[in-house]
Structure 1
Amino acid sequence: MNKMNVLSIVTVISLFISFFLAFFLVTVKTEHKTSNRLFAFFLIITAIDISDPLISLVADVPSNPGMLRNSLAFLQIPAFYLYVLSVCYSDFKLKPKHLLHLLPFLAVNLVLLPHFYMVDLASKINFIEHRQSRIELQFNHILFHIQIVTYFIAVFILLRKAKKLYLENYAGISINSYHWLFQFTSVLTILYLIVILKNIFKFSEYPYISEWIKIGILVFELFIICWYLYKALNNPGLFRNIDSRLQLVSDIVLEEKKNEPQTVSDHEFSEDLTKLKKYMMEEKPFLNPSLTIQDISDAIGIPTRELSVLINHRVGQHFYDFVNTYRVEEAMDILKDGTKTKVTILEILYEVGFNSKSSFNTAFKKHTGNTPTFYRKNL
């Protein structure tokens, strides 16, 4: 089987899965339509980009649609960035300002306008034959590489901030989704770094190496798409809980130091902490698996902003860990209860407010140094 056949087979499989998943994301009934549509758009653009081996079989001369198809690659990473943004923040909405992400795509096509789009076929062929010396294509490749690096740095910064905001304001299970989204972004980063390597060889003295790397990229993309499909079907709920209006506690503290030094006295801090601990012990709000810092703020009458600083800064614990400490303590009481020896670990974790065995085991071991099963056996 020659190289062209391998490329064609892998491309057909990748296209089928990409369009199938895109169709699924667009048609599935869910409240997260914007996120699904953004990722479906990302998949479709990617599918069009990797369709080159099939297109070349039926169109062996350069054309305006063909060049436009190649330039669609500049929409891939912006689409993925907006997708991550929409997944992280529950109040995300597409706005006119997001059209700025189209600028790289528009810029590359504008550069190609005089010497490719507006010339005859012979000039187009000459343009492609001398592509290694064409400043327009060199500009586009450099811009594409800059775009990849810039956007992936932005995505990782976004995920880091989203994780911090979640830990400081929520106590559910969505942190597991962050880990998956971080992994998915890391894998995509590796893929695009390989793409950069392919492009370097494409404009070097060894262009044939670029063609073999292209086969590897297609196989890698197929694996990524299948992996995402598996995750999407098994984990339909993602992060999606964070309000973008929330501030990081570090930013709040810095702001208060600049504007109102010593806003909260040690006495007020002690009173608020006593009120908080009393509420946690007596009312046990942590049994609610979807508990947020806003819920506690409403219940005890401490403004959310002040309560967030109290827990995340003054106490020195993320809200997520603060709540899980009470859940673990409650679980320990149940495990110690001789009348509840037949209650399973799974039943206990749901009873105390956890939503998954993995998050329960992680929190329990962090608090006690042992797993729940080991703790029960050694009482």
Structure 2
Amino acid sequence: MNGFLMCFSAGGCFLLGFLLLFHPLGQNLTANRWLAVFVSIMGTAFLGIYFKNTAFSSLQFMLPPCIYLSTIYFVQPIRVFKNKDGLHFLPFLICVLLQLIWKVKGMDFMIVPLFAIGNFIFFIRDLLPLQFLAYIIVSYRALTVHRRNLKQITAAVKEIGLDWLGYFLLILSVISLFWLNDALFGVLFLLKVMPVIYTGSIFFLAYFSIRQDAVFAFNKTELKEIAVLLDQTLPDTPPKVPRLNDQEFAVSLAKLSQLMEEDQIFLNNDLSLADLADRLALSIHDTSYLINTHTKGNFYNFINQLRVEQAKNMLLDGRMEELSMIGIAFGSGFNSKTAFNTAFKKYTGYSPTAYMKAHKKN
């Protein structure tokens, strides 16, 4: 049964790898290619378990850097491969070299003991799950930074927040824990259910990976500006110098006020920083500077606060008799009820329904 599940999991990995490599929608191509390599190597690992063969075990040292680089390319779509990125594959190259040397001696490098504690022996192969878990943590940190930075350019973070990738990494962390148990602890119950967990995980990995959308739906020029802008939001970036002089700032601020107060462009569900920059005839970077300096916040807070104020007015002027709560959400500029409820609670301390009831009593 376990052998069947391992072969089944391997086949699922190879199929998913093929679909990611030749993504039918042509989205996030570089990121998906790294992800395709990752799941394909997982497939070879499952086959190695079935055949009890360590011939391809060195490939598993490629798993951590592949998932990390895939994550990085999802959050930085115009990024180019750098020489220092190759250092992530150094453990793999060293392992391959040593594997060849040991093979000449008729030995398997992966079961070379590193140290022993009592009856417990730590082998080279036991480094794999530790490296894997460490890279998952680093990848999740990169994803968290991405979600924070998105608030600089959009008021609808959830739609491009790569939630599916967060779930993907969570599932991989579960796999890594079972892998650690197999390598280090040997808890019998976990070993028995491990094949089922691995197989189920492959299904969930496939489900979440095919749900992805384009992360940044902008043209190349806008993407370059956004990349520079997001780089400058990192903690170790030097303070920004003023991008607009006093006169330019005042003129642009007047235009911004007109667009928000008179034209109410914040009601556009798909409004982004790039759209606003185009309306202001400013660069994306200058527009971000204008908003950040004027509001002491970011684009996300600026737009969503205006939308919440609009929703509050709609709730209290009797519009609920004509519209449902989802109608209020879309009518105030939000593109989902979840985003509406989250923002409303954040800026008012009430749910929309509780806010309406509290103010009607008054």
TM range (shorter): 0.7 to 0.9
Residue in structure 2 matching 1:49, options 40, 45, 48: 45
Q: Does 1:237 align with 2:232?
A: no
Q: How does 1:173-212 map to 2 (within 5 A)?
A: 173-174=157-158, 177-201=161-185, 209=186
Q: How does 1:179-328 map to 2 (within 5 A)?
A: 179-201=163-185, 209=186, 213-233=190-210, 235-237=211-213, 239-240=215-216, 243-247=226-230, 250=233, 255-256=238-239, 273=253, 275-312=255-292, 315-328=295-308
Secondary structure of the structure 1 residue equivalent to 2:230: coil
Q: What is the CA–CA distance in structure 2 between the aligned matches of 1:212 and 1:176, rounded to whole Å?
A: 39
TM-score of the two chains, using structure 1 as the length reference: 0.75
Q: Is the 8 A contact 2:9 2:199 kept in 1?
A: yes
Q: Is the 8 A contact 2:266 2:333 kept in 1?
A: yes
The change in CA–CA distance for 1:313 and 1:75 in structure 2 (over 3 A counts) is farther
In structure 2, what residue type is equivalent to 1:237?
D
RMSD: 3.7
Q: What is the CA–CA distance in structure 1 between the aligned matches of 2:110 and 2:200, rounded to whole Å?
A: 33
Q: How does 1:29-44 map to 2 (within 5 A)?
A: 29-32=24-27, 33-44=29-40
- Offset, 1:107: 0.9
Secondary structure of the structure 1 residue equivalent to 2:56: helix
Q: Deviations over 1:41-61 (max 9, x none)?
A: 2111112112234213xxxxx
The equivalent of 1:206 in structure 2 is: none
Q: Is the 8 A contact 1:275 1:300 kept in 2?
A: yes
The change in CA–CA distance for 1:12 and 1:68 in structure 2 (over 3 A counts) is closer
Q: Is the 8 A contact 1:174 1:239 kept in 2?
A: no
The change in CA–CA distance for 1:339 and 1:142 in structure 2 (over 3 A counts) is closer
- Offset, 1:166: 0.5
Q: What is the CA–CA distance in structure 2 between the aligned matches of 1:140 and 1:115, rounded to whole Å?
A: 13
Residue in structure 2 matching 1:148, options 124, 132, 140: 132
- Offset, 1:369: 2.6
Q: What is the CA–CA distance in structure 2 between the aligned matches of 1:129 and 1:359, rounded to whole Å?
A: 49
Q: Deviations over 1:281-323 (max 9, x none)?
A: 1222222333222332332245533432443465232311211
Q: Deviations over 1:244-297 (max 9, x none)?
A: 33335555996347xx5x787899867755543332112222223332223323
Q: What is the CA–CA distance in structure 2 between the aligned matches of 1:91 and 1:55, rounded to whole Å?
A: 40
Q: Deviations over 1:108-146 (max 9, x none)?
A: 011222221x24xxx34xx589744799x9674475356
Q: Is the 8 A contact 1:10 1:219 kept in 2?
A: yes
Q: Deviations over 1:186-240 (max 9, x none)?
A: 3423432442343234xxxxxxx2776454443333232222333345x332644
Q: How does 1:63-74 map to 2 (within 5 A)?
A: 66-74=53-61
The change in CA–CA distance for 1:169 and 1:159 in structure 2 (over 3 A counts) is same
Q: What is the CA–CA distance in structure 2 between the aligned matches of 1:266 and 1:197, rounded to whole Å?
A: 62
In structure 2, what residue type is equivalent to 1:49?
A
The equivalent of 1:334 in structure 2 is: 314
Q: Give the aligned length.
A: 347
Q: Is the 8 A contact 1:289 1:354 kept in 2?
A: yes
- Offset, 1:100: 4.0
Q: What is the CA–CA distance in structure 2 between the aligned matches of 1:165 and 1:134, rounded to whole Å?
A: 43
Q: How does 1:12-27 map to 2 (within 5 A)?
A: 12-27=7-22
> Which structure has more RCO (C-alpha within 8 Å, separation ≥ 6)?
1
Residue in structure 1 matching 2:338, options 358, 366, 369: 358
Q: Does 1:8 align with 2:3?
A: yes
Q: Is the 8 A contact 2:38 2:67 kept in 1?
A: yes
Secondary structure of the structure 2 residue equivalent to 1:90: coil
Q: What is the CA–CA distance in structure 2 between the aligned matches of 1:333 and 1:129, rounded to whole Å?
A: 67
Secondary structure of the structure 1 residue equivalent to 2:155: coil
TM-score of the two chains, using structure 2 as the length reference: 0.78
Q: Is the 8 A contact 1:173 1:355 kept in 2?
A: no
Q: Is the 8 A contact 1:68 1:109 kept in 2?
A: no
Q: What is the CA–CA distance in structure 1 between the aligned matches of 2:109 and 2:232, rounded to whole Å?
A: 54
The equivalent of 2:352 in structure 1 is: 372
- Offset, 1:340: 6.3
Q: Is the 8 A contact 2:147 2:157 kept in 1?
A: no
Q: Is the 8 A contact 1:324 1:363 kept in 2?
A: yes
The change in CA–CA distance for 1:294 and 1:179 in structure 2 (over 3 A counts) is same
In structure 2, what residue type is equivalent to 1:227?
F
- Offset, 1:26: 3.8
In structure 1, what residue type is equivalent to 2:322?
K
Can you give the 5+ residue segments of structure 1 that lack an aligned partner in the other structure?
57-65, 202-208
